[in-house]
Structure 1
Amino acid sequence: MLKIGCHLSISNGFEAMGKDALEIKANTFQFFTRNPRGSKAKNIDINDVEKLLKLMKENNFAKILGHAPYTLNICSADERTREFALEVLEDDLKRLELLPNNYYNFHPGSHVKQGVETGIKFIVDALNKILKPEQSTIVLLETMSGKGTEIGRTFEELKEIIDGVLLSNKIGVCLDTCHVYDAGYDIVKNLDGVLNEFDRIIGLDKLYAIHLNDSKNPFESHKDRHEIIGEGHIGYDAIVKIINHPKLRNLPFFLETPNDLFGHGEEIKLLRQSYKDIPAI
């Protein structure tokens, strides 16, 4: 079965996100752990969390994905900015243990002209401080489009971060289709080649989730502007190949397209119709 959902708002609580997912025939979802443009996090209602966990179990949900705020920059040139990012990430991981055995995704950050190696060192140092052997959450580095001084535009940069993390079983990758296409990985004309390159450099065993987005901009534009499925430069046919690819089809897919809940439901309906269920052997 296709594991697919979209980005939902935590504003009405955890159970409400689960109900929104069911309304659009989703069986997973992504959510911001706190204000995506700030730092405030809502107090967690344990009863609300337990209701979501019950709903997920009853409806056979795939793993869900918490997303860190966009504004965090763990490899900033400013020390206080790095400290603040570390504090937020650490707090998020503690909170996510209330939703055990799921994923947490964050943007690696921008080195702000310090150089890639300096930026990667800051990221590795931070992860080695906050990752704990006992945590059940897997932390995912997101593939980036390469705008400005972003780190994570290449598989090699992500590999260098992963190699520096001591608790290697707590770290992985979330591949964003818009981002990798904008970064120069041609998933439209050479999906197999891109996946083979990912496997050679990082290893497909480290790929845990897919952000499924079309792109408003052409190949290798380094722009990072998401588009509705089938309305961008990646296109519907390429997206269908992605969700059906034998190396990807069992991963959870998360829509981050510029759509409302109803629109996401229409995208999910369309993609479910294009997914080829293969009986288990």
Structure 2
Amino acid sequence: MLKIGSHVSFSDKGLLSATAEAASYGSSSFMIYTGAPQNTRRKPIDSMFLEEGRAAMSAAGIQLDDIVVHAPYIVNLGSYKSNIYQLAVEFLQEEIRRTHAIGVKNIVLHPGAFTDKDADYGIDRIAEGLNEVLNGTSETDVNIALETMAGKGTEIGRTFEEIARIIEKVEHNERLTICLDTCHIHDAGYDIVNDLDGVLEEFDRLIGLHKIGVVHINDSKNPIGSHKDRHTPIGTGWIGFEAINRVVHHEKLAGKPFILETPWIGKDAKTQRPMYEAEIALLRGTAAERLGESYLTEVEQLHQFFTQQDIHPRAFVISTWELLKNDPKAKKADPREPLERLYDLVVEASLLPHLNEEQINQRLIGWLAAHDLKLQA
């Protein structure tokens, strides 16, 4: 089975609640933060419901080796400020011990940013920090998965070359793996839509495909090379469903855990829902099995409706993003993104009135996917 899941919360009951959420989406892997991703406050290990969580994972058919931990965003090993750098080193050492206690083998890390210095300084500083972190956690078998970055601001990891230079400078680099993020490398300028094989060949030449420990699968709100890092549900961005589907089924990435980090959507921020269940089922080719036989019929209804409106999936998505990017007046007058515009058209036409907002959006994701690939029961 394709090892695919999503980011899930690690809240009141730790690993137990995270597993329950992942299973509700049909996940066979998942990624957690052991606390809030915006800070370094963490609960004691003994409050993580680890034993109960592992039992729930076993019951759901989820393997511990396919689970990933993500370090918080604010950790910055590239900082020239000693207090920020030291906090990053010490926190990562403790986070690796927490990850080891859970039984997970990879912790994803944004490499860091050089802020007021330069890229060479940032690479050296990050490598220095990784050496400290790894040397201080030699009792564990946890790897640090350096994430490929989009290149916004002064962040390091925007090219495969930068990551390769970091790896070369780390003493125990056998404990370094890579988290390949589709939105990030697209925004960094790698053409995974038209030349996925070429991108993977370049990665293999500079770093080695064997180093990939996890793949984040996200669509992008921005065109290639934009250096923005803004995720959107699969099929609703510049990458598109077909290209993402080629990534998750590529023979050179077989056996890797794939993790969705696509945003939750909905008119009301308080009731927004993720598209994880539909995205996972569509990428597996099990939409009817997971979402019901009527799902395919309702996707076909959307297809007929939009065909009558002369709306074509990829053209509509791209033209909407181009409008929002290039025409400030139009964006101010109507800031709705592609999926929201499609949803409004469906509701205005009283199409599929028996479905709620989440269900309509799930079928819109299916319609976007069905343009390029035949849905499989």
Question: Aligned partners of 2:248 and 2:263: how far apart in 1?
Answer: 19
Answer yes or no: is the 8 Å Cα contact 1:24–1:262 preserved in 2. Answer: no
Aligned counterpart, 1:145: 150
Deviations 1:47-94 (CA, angstroms, capped at 9, x unpaired):
710111222234332421111111111111211111111111111011
Structure 1's unaligned 5+ residue stretches are 276-281
Question: Aligned partners of 1:161 and 1:53: how far apart in 2?
Answer: 34
Which one-letter code corresponds to 2:176 in the other structure? I
Structure 2's unaligned 5+ residue stretches are 265-271, 288-377
Question: Aligned partners of 1:143 and 1:113: how far apart in 2?
Answer: 21
Question: Aligned partners of 1:262 and 1:107: how far apart in 2?
Answer: 23
Corresponding residue to 2:236 among 220, 231, 234: 231
Corresponding residue to 1:129 among 132, 135, 138: 132
Mapping 1:37-186, distance limit 5 Å:
37-45=38-46, 48-62=49-63, 63-131=66-134, 132-186=137-191
SS at match of 2:45: coil
Question: Aligned partners of 2:104 and 2:95: how far apart in 1?
Answer: 14
Question: Aligned partners of 1:33 and 1:167: how far apart in 2?
Answer: 25
Distance 1:117 1:262, change over 3 A: closer
Which one-letter code corresponds to 2:121 in the other structure? T
1:270 aligns with 2:282: yes
Answer yes or no: is the 8 Å Cα contact 1:21–1:28 preserved in 2. Answer: yes
Q: CA deviation at 1:44?
A: 2.5
Aligned counterpart, 1:11: 11
Which one-letter code corresponds to 1:167 in the other structure? H
Deviates more, 1:70-79 or 1:147-156: 70-79
Aligned counterpart, 1:29: 30
Question: Aligned partners of 1:207 and 1:40: how far apart in 2?
Answer: 29
Question: Aligned partners of 1:18 and 1:196: how far apart in 2?
Answer: 35
Question: Structure 1 or 2: larger helix share?
Answer: 2
Q: Report which of the two structures shows the higher radius of gyration computed on alpha carbons.
A: 2
Answer yes or no: is the 8 Å Cα contact 1:101–1:136 preserved in 2. Answer: no
Deviates more, 1:126-135 or 1:165-174: 126-135
Question: Aligned partners of 2:48 and 2:245: how far apart in 1?
Answer: 38
Which one-letter code corresponds to 1:56 in the other structure? M
SS at match of 1:29: strand
Distance 1:43 1:185, change over 3 A: same
Question: Aligned partners of 2:283 and 2:70: how far apart in 1?
Answer: 23
Question: Aligned partners of 2:146 and 2:60: how far apart in 1?
Answer: 28
Point out which structure has higher relative CO (alpha carbons under 8 A, 6+ apart): 1
What is the Cα-based RMSD across aligned positions, in Å?
Answer: 1.6
Aligned counterpart, 1:278: none
Deviations 1:218-275 (CA, angstroms, capped at 9, x unpaired):
0100000001000000000001111110011321000000026652112111111179
Deviations 1:203-223 (CA, angstroms, capped at 9, x unpaired):
011111100000000010000
Question: Aligned partners of 1:221 and 1:248: how far apart in 2?
Answer: 25
* TM-score for both structures, normalised by structure 2: 0.70
> Percent of pairs identical after alignment?
43
Q: CA deviation at 1:29?
A: 0.8
